[in-house]
Structure 1
Amino acid sequence: MIDNTLFIKKSNSEIILVQIYVDGIIFGATQDSLCEEFVAAMKGEFEISMMRELSFFLRLQVKQTKDGIFLCQSKYCKEILKKFEMESGKEANTHMPSSCYMDADVAGKGVDQTKYRGLIGSLLYLTTSRPNIMFVVCLCARYQANRKESHFKAAKRILKYLKGTTNVGLWYPSHSPIHLIGYSDSDFAGCKLDRKNTSGTCHLLVSSLISWHSKKQAFVALSTAEAEYIAAGSCCAQIL
């Protein structure tokens, strides 16, 4: 109820959704008359300029077809590669090696704080449409205060993976049976510093990914079962 950005209006069996971000507005309805009514009301109060069917918003590309909607950030992804001079670098098949066990690397050589934090911030924004890189990006983000070359190397490995997968995104089909499914998982004592686990959850509505997160657990679990229960608890809370 604080700082609302999403507004919903129902009229009989029809519905209109209005999403506001600063001075940008996205709206859509199940009936054209609701959109026309909303536009008329806005023009009566503010100076607004109507764009066109949503295709680009906050660096998020939107492609709408009769079969569904595809969201991606391929243009933004290429901007990141250019910014960090990885356009001509080698590609990687995965975003992190299976043998990667990142720690504080106390004896390692430090790297530039501004450059490392800039890279992590850019990658975090990319997780809007790329949940598959969220775990490793959040893992690298833990070492922003005391970043080393090994951490920067791991972050650049993500860029190598992105170079070969710039067009990957999220697909939302138009016609599917409505059902809600949640998945949860966790590692056990995955963090080498404090032995805490990391919970991972994702939720699908109508076969479409709508929510996900990768987060270190607040407590040290004494067993794998306890770690899984903590992850399952956060998953159920999100579903509710």
Structure 2
Amino acid sequence: MEESIDDQPVRGTRSLAEIYERRNDAELIENIKQCLFAGFEMTDLGKMVYFLGLEVKQSPYEIFICQRKYLKEILKKFQMEECRSVSTPMAAKEKLQKVDGTDVVDASMYRSLIGCLMYLTATRPDILFARGQEFNLQGFSDSDWAGSMDDMKSTSGYCFDFGSACFSWCSKKQEIVAQSTAEVEFIAATAAANQALC
């Protein structure tokens, strides 16, 4: 199959196998670029080295993708370059209050951090989908009892995962004041079941 652009013949390929066999063919690559330049307004930036937060290193026989630069940018953006890792990055069994003498947290910064972390894991197949893992749908629910110091309401939460990827979660203060831990757990389980059925 042959096409002509500006009276210059361009050889087409018939299959992906042929494209793969000729992937290092400079003449083929140049012909494809000329076809694209003729049909679209574009610029040739050369080999890709950085794309959507991923570093790309290419050699004749392999492509290596790395997130080191993106991870360093996240740490710098949220001023965590000198942080140390811990198994639970918050105080366990902390009782929260609306007014506790601390500064108000910037919600948009928190959402931005969560978005960055979600993108970081979504672009790492080895984190998102561990090898040899079974893909079972699982749901978990939990709650505290009278965790709010302001109105004695409890907080319930649930999360659902498929394999190792959590795809739905919620943490919310309950609308009523529960009279027992059984009632608190029932409300949390009901909210999780409702989400599972929707």
Length-normalised TM-score, structure 1? 0.44
* TM-fit CA distance, 1:61: 0.4
State the match for 1:30 in structure 2.
23
* TM-fit CA distance, 1:70: 1.7
Query: Quick one: percent identity of the two aligned structures?
Result: 34
Mapped to 2, the partners of 1:187 and 1:46 lie a distance apart of 45
Alpha-carbon spacing, 1:112–1:50, altered in 2? closer, same or farther (3 Å): same
Deviations 1:168-221 (A, max 9, x none): xxxxxxxxxxxxx874244754232465642126xxxxxxxxxxx44249x85x
Mapped to 2, the partners of 1:15 and 1:87 lie a distance apart of 44
* TM-fit CA distance, 1:88: 1.8
| 1:122 to 2:116 alignment | yes
State the match for 1:42 in structure 2.
36
Larger radius of gyration: 2
- 1:127 aligned counterpart, secondary structure: helix
Q: Do 2:160 and 2:168's aligned partners in 1 also have CA atoms closer than 8 Å? A: yes
- 1:191 aligned counterpart, secondary structure: strand
* TM-fit CA distance, 1:49: 2.1
1:198 to 161, 168, 173: 161
Unaligned runs of 5+ in 1: 1-8, 17-28, 136-180, 202-212, 221-240
Mapped to 2, the partners of 1:87 and 1:133 lie a distance apart of 22
Q: Which amino acid aligns with 1:215?
A: F
- 1:61 aligned counterpart, secondary structure: strand
Q: Which amino acid aligns with 1:30?
A: R
* TM-fit CA distance, 1:60: 1.2
* TM-fit CA distance, 1:62: 0.7
Alpha-carbon spacing, 1:125–1:133, altered in 2? closer, same or farther (3 Å): same
Q: Do 1:59 and 1:76's aligned partners in 2 also have CA atoms closer than 8 Å? A: yes
State the match for 1:14 in structure 2.
18
- 1:15 aligned counterpart, secondary structure: helix
Where do 1:42-121 residues align within 5 Å?
Answer: 42-66=36-60, 68-90=62-84, 92=85, 96-97=87-88, 107=96, 111-121=105-115
Mapped to 2, the partners of 1:67 and 1:40 lie a distance apart of 25
